[in-house]
Amino acid sequence: MKLDEFLRLNAPEELAALTLAIAKSSVTIWDNIPFKSGLLADVNPSGETQKAIDVFSNDVFVEALTSTGCAGEVASEEMAEPAEAKGGVSVAMDPLDGSSNVETNNPLGSIFGFYSKKLPTSGRNLIGSLYVTYGSMVTLTLSFGKGVHRFVAVREGADMNFELLGVNLKLPQKPEVYGIGGSAKDWIPPVGRFVDSLEERGLRVRYCGTFVGDYNQVLSRGGIFAYPQLVNKPRGKLRVLYETAPISFLNEQAGGYGSDGRQNILDLAPSELSETSPAYIGSAPLVRELEKAVLAG
């Protein structure tokens, strides 16, 4: 089944329009990565002024989302102030997650949260979220509060279409992988102890350094991703509104749990657009265990 047909049957109209705009734009982003990242600067076919790939991605998504008439505002990691528009949905996005990984060809991603209230607001006001991964395949994984579903981009002639790859994705019962951001020497002690115990339990470390790339494998294999509280960075690194709340929303739909070490990430109420928090996301039993350990200190 194609994405547009799926959305017609399963999504509120506004979210369907926003998702289709994102899907179309993600192909543009993917096509432009070698050029806008400067890797093929000399052969840029359009001949236009080079923009960094993250600024380019931001501009493409802002234009596409505001043109749907369904976004009321679009806030982005790349902009100090949201772009205002006339629709009803507040969109928060990280237009190109992991952009520092371009040269090494690690997966990159784009993350979107659809909120029913003006931003910044709590993850409890999410009505949907999705992420795109640009890896060995371009995939789009979404949830509108009724399960998690995944699509893959396939070329059909001159067009790219998104075909349904999986419905009602759930984190596997048996966790297999973990990935923890930052340097081990900077993690707060309970995180280090927990990681040692994961090794003893036979989980394998898998870390690519792009949040959605790392989360995506946790969703497929079971386990945990964390960008933890660091000794010298108590509020972690990842942004609540743009990154961790949207992924936590989707992760709960897949049967998982996301915590900042004290409480559900969805209960955080950021007062600033780019507020960060520690993030522990993945299989519910593991995240709850780590949350308990962090609380105990």
User: In this structure, what token pair is assigned to residue 100?
Assistant: 């520092």
Among 39, 209, 264, 267, binds ligand F6P (CB under 6 A): 209
DSSP-derived secondary structure letter, 230: B
Rank residues 72 and 98 by Cβ distance to ligand F6P and give the closer one.
98
The correct pick among 82, 175, 182, 246 for binding ligand F6P (CB under 6 A) is: 182
**CB of 168 vs ligand F6P, minimal distance in Å:** 26
Q: Does 238 contact ligand F6P by CB under 6 A?
A: yes
Task: State the residue for tokens 């008439």.
Answer: 69
CB of 283 to ligand F6P, least distance (A): 18
The answer to whether 98 touches 135, Cβ cutoff 8 Å, is no
Q: Phi, psi (5° rounding) for residue 39? A: -65, -35
Could you tell me the smallest distance in angstroms from the CB atom of residue 163 to ligand F6P?
Answer: 26
Determine whether 211 is exposed, middle or buried from the number of CB atoms within 10 Å of its CB (0-12, 13-18, 19+).
buried
The residue range among 62-70, 112-120, 209-217, 258-266 that interacts with ligand F6P, by the rule CB under 6 A, is 209-217
236 binds ligand F6P (CB under 6 A): no
Given a contact cutoff of 8 angstroms between Cβ atoms, the answer to whether 143 and 249 are in contact is: yes
Decide: is 54 part of the binding site for ligand F6P (CB under 6 A). no
Least Å from the CB of residue 94 to ligand F6P: 7
Query: In what side-by-side order are the strands of the sheet with 177-180?
Result: 204-205, 177-180, 223-227, 279-282, 257-259
- 211 touching ligand F6P, by CB under 6 A: yes
Q: How far apart are CA 156 and CA 297, in angstroms?
A: 54
Site string for ligand F6P, 273-292 (x = CB under 6 A): --------------------
Q: Pick left, alpha or beta for residue 133 (phi over 0 → left; psi -120 to 50 → alpha; otherwise beta).
A: beta
| Torsion from C-alpha of 163, 134, 176, 235, nearest 10 degrees | -130
Q: Is 72 or 95 the residue whose CB approaches ligand F6P more closely?
A: 95
**Site size toward ligand F6P, by CB under 6 A:** 10
Place of tokens 């909120």: 115
Candidate list 56, 134, 227, 242; residue touching ligand F6P; CB under 6 A: 227
List of E strands, 157-201: 159-166, 177-180
Residues 90-129, interacting with ligand F6P (CB under 6 A)? 97-98
- Binding of ligand F6P by 210 (CB under 6 A): yes
Residues that bind ligand F6P (CB under 6 A): 97-98, 181-182, 209-211, 227, 237-238
